Amino acid sequence: MKKYSLTFLFLFLTVSALHARGTYQEPAAFLEDTFKGNVPVAKKIWLTGDTGKTVTTILQHKPDRLRVRYWKQEQRSAWILEEIGKEKPITVGFVINNNKIERVKVLIFRESRGDEVRHDFFTRQFSEAKIKPDTSLNQNIDGISGATMSVRALTKLSRVALFLSSKIQ
């Protein structure tokens, strides 16, 4: 009986760990949705000088690349950014409109837990958020028990998206 209990426990933990991982929307589809099929040409912003220093401060580590691609149409810009949750990258799409977050979408989640951040109940908290001069958000983001690292990753990325968007205006 003990052998079956251990086998069941192992299978349960394996399946629940695999459940959190997934591609919820391809980045290209996110851009198509954002710009209603009329996706502008991608542009780049370099993470050098003061811009790079500020992004490093927000992330609390050096970014893994020197430039970030973005797509801009009038006052709206889209950003596809990645940050490590606990051990693996989380790919998130942001739409910034008039220096406020319009939309946040978790595109690819690679962690074994914490995928609750992909749900609307969580991402809606970022709606209308702005960045303050000290690069913090102007509104509080409630955490999710068991998803602390994922919540921190999305919060940092939202600050980066708002900061970088302010640099291209």
> What total number of domains does the chain contain?
1
Domain span including residue 64: 22-168
User: What pLDDT, in 10s, does the model give residues 28-87?
Assistant: 999 999 999 999 999 999 999 999 999 999 999 999 999 999 999 999 999 999 999 999
E strands of 34-165, at which residues? 43-46, 67-73, 76-84, 89-97, 100-109
Q: Is residue 8 part of a domain?
A: no
Rounded to whole angstroms, the Cα distance separating 2 from 110 reads 33
Q: Is residue 9 part of a domain?
A: no
Rounded to whole angstroms, the Cα distance separating 136 from 68 reads 20
Full-model pTM: 0.87
Residue labelled with tokens 């942001």 = 94
User: What pLDDT, in 10s, does the model give residues 145-163?
Assistant: 999 999 999 999 999 999 9
Q: How much is the pLDDT for 16?
A: 41
Q: Is residue 10 part of a domain?
A: no
Residue labelled with tokens 């958020």 = 129
Q: Is residue 1 part of a domain?
A: no
Q: Is residue 114 part of a domain?
A: yes
Q: Is residue 13 part of a domain?
A: no
Burial class (CB in 10 A: 0-12, 13-18, 19+), 94: buried
- Whether the per-residue pLDDT at 132 is higher than 80: the answer is yes
Interhelix angle 49-59/148-168, nearest 10 degrees = 160
Mean pLDDT for 7-13 is 41
